[in-house]
Amino acid sequence: MYLPPDWPPEVRSPSDPEWETSAVAWLLDAVPPEHRAYEVLRRHPLALARLALQHVNAAVEAARAGYRNAPTDLHGHLPPGAIEAVREVYREEGPRLIRLIRSIEVVDQALRGAMFTETMRGHGRRRGP
């Protein structure tokens, strides 16, 4: 079975009978640990995927705001060079979060029954519901 490039290596292929279990474990790592207490999220992986997507999208927005506002929010409170170091954290974290969003999106699509096919360019294309 073809899996798109954004498919997380921690999640088994949808052809594996245990794939949803691996998807739930991986998705739970994408949200705050307190979400593990909600049985409904383990019972309904699609709900967990949507919650994870919303959470990570909010983290992207927070990182963007943090990057923009760091010079004014932290000026006079951190030693020289520290503000730029903080901004570098945001510059590194942003792309990681965007990659995570893409991975959550393909898992979400698979949970909805989508099948993926490889295209001529080597990029995946979604087929199905």
Q: pTM above 0.75?
A: yes
Distance CA 51, CA 96 (A): 18
3-state secondary structure of 98: helix
Domain interval for residue 73:
46-127
Gyration radius of the chain over CA positions: 18
Give per-residue pLDDT as tens, 36-88.
Answer: 999 999 999 999 999 999 999 999 999 999 999 999 999 999 998 999 999 99
Residue 62 within a domain: yes
What is the residue-wise DSSP string for 5-16? TTS-TTSPPTTS
Residue 112 within a domain: yes
Residue 21 within a domain: no
Domain count, the chain: 1
Residue 63 within a domain: yes
